[in-house]
Structure 1
């Protein structure tokens, strides 16, 4: 008797797997937020503001985190009362108000990150090659999401005007960053970089094409 093929589509199973990981990430964030007496949204705002000395507006924060502006406003107000953020007027536009971290927020983030996370342990359990492959897959997925407008442009190498993929013959360090004028390897690709400067759409597309072709060559 022939065994029926009951498997769901591969893309569906991958999405199911990602949802399991997302659940663990949310639980880890709950634990870290609780450790510094915050809720997950407040903690996410602090994480997102880190490395942005000029801060961000409420609308930008809400868009980046995928939450409503009223929720963001309420969360920022709570963080302000706790002394973890301050609001300031944008010097370039006196009508705009930005939110930025205080020194106490940096201390709180450091304390929160000291709380062990199950997702971190799972990633650490992968060997170096597995981690590198996962990084490349995550970059590809994030790039697809940002190019379709599901998320804002992220501060990662693949969308930065300083990124030059596969311009060096050294297989261990094929990429170049013009900001620091240095070569670097696949394992050093960043998803969140404080020095990120978004490339123009056409340049971003050309950079991605060069990056994707280089990856295909390595995997051939």
Structure 2
């Protein structure tokens, strides 16, 4: 069956929708800014560190945030100055520094978690199957942007050596995970997996 021709009008509508979502996310992040005057990136870092109480290295944090090391470093420098983040020696390798939250940082992380509450409610209005399809679509977009070098590597299924796409006929569980040893439902797709094993991705020309 021949592929359907690309509809530039449809593409334009999708891009317009994504831009509107990005605008409202940024607006909500700034509205939710506390007296600490956190940027959206700084708020995201606080939330990530709250989810990793044992701490993360700078490179781990950049990888999990999907941003460059330089951007992460600049944001962390400001968070340290604001006494929201502290640097400690890695318990197994004293040459490495880990980033953890200070008590004040814990409080700020709680406040920033409210930034995306409105979007959580909006996504909650979708049926579970619609949410799963949306997740798969987002992962595909992230994969393409990663191949183009637009974003830093993300530990997701589509860039994992354990992942094998389109193995089964069931559209709701078409993919296979060799780590789990079985099919993956769309809702099980991971965007930040601790068991991720990176593969080399071809660079799009």
| Fold shared, TM-score > 0.5 on shorter chain | yes
Contact (CA 8 Å) 2:88, 2:99: kept in 1 or not?
A: yes
Which structure ranks higher in relative contact order (CA pairs < 8 Å, sequence separation ≥ 6)?
Answer: 2
My pick for the range that moved more, 132-141 or 24-33, is: 24-33
Number of the residue aligned with 1:5? none
**SS in structure 2 at match of 1:88:** strand
- 2:168 & 2:104 partners in 1: Cα distance? 42
Contact (CA 8 Å) 1:56, 1:100: kept in 2 or not?
A: no
- 1:131 & 1:69 partners in 2: Cα distance? 30
Contact (CA 8 Å) 2:155, 2:191: kept in 1 or not?
A: yes
Contact (CA 8 Å) 2:57, 2:99: kept in 1 or not?
A: yes
Point out the structure with max Rg over C-alpha: 1
How much has 1:138 moved relative to structure 2? 0.6
How much has 1:60 moved relative to structure 2? 5.9
How much has 1:144 moved relative to structure 2? 0.5
How much has 1:136 moved relative to structure 2? 1.7
For the structure 1 residues 178 and 111, does the alpha-carbon distance in structure 2 shift closer, same or farther, using more than 3 Å as the test? farther
- 1:94 & 1:189 partners in 2: Cα distance? 35
Contact (CA 8 Å) 1:157, 1:196: kept in 2 or not?
A: no
TM-score (norm: length of structure 2): 0.69
- 1:13 & 1:169 partners in 2: Cα distance? 30
**SS in structure 1 at match of 2:152:** coil
Q: Runs of 5+ in structure 2 lacking a partner?
A: 1-7
Contact (CA 8 Å) 2:86, 2:100: kept in 1 or not?
A: yes
Number of the residue aligned with 2:157? 157
How much has 1:110 moved relative to structure 2? 4.5
**SS in structure 2 at match of 1:199:** coil
Contact (CA 8 Å) 1:58, 1:98: kept in 2 or not?
A: no
Number of the residue aligned with 1:46? 46
My pick for the range that moved more, 104-113 or 70-79, is: 104-113
TM-score (norm: length of structure 1): 0.65
How much has 1:167 moved relative to structure 2? 4.9
How much has 1:143 moved relative to structure 2? 0.3
**Equivalent runs, 1:66-215 vs 2, <5 Å:** 68=71, 71-79=74-82, 81-82=83-84, 85-90=85-90, 95-101=95-101, 105=105, 108-110=108-110, 112-114=112-114, 117-167=117-167, 173-181=173-181, 183-193=183-193, 195-201=194-200
Contact (CA 8 Å) 2:155, 2:192: kept in 1 or not?
A: yes
1:34-84 alpha-carbon deviations (Å, 9 max, x no partner):
3x95513321211333545451227963984457466324323135x13xx
How much has 1:21 moved relative to structure 2? 0.4
- 2:99 & 2:190 partners in 1: Cα distance? 25
Q: Runs of 5+ in structure 1 lacking a partner?
A: 1-7, 206-220
For the structure 1 residues 124 and 134, does the alpha-carbon distance in structure 2 shift closer, same or farther, using more than 3 Å as the test? same
Q: CA RMSD in A?
A: 3.8
How much has 1:88 moved relative to structure 2? 2.5
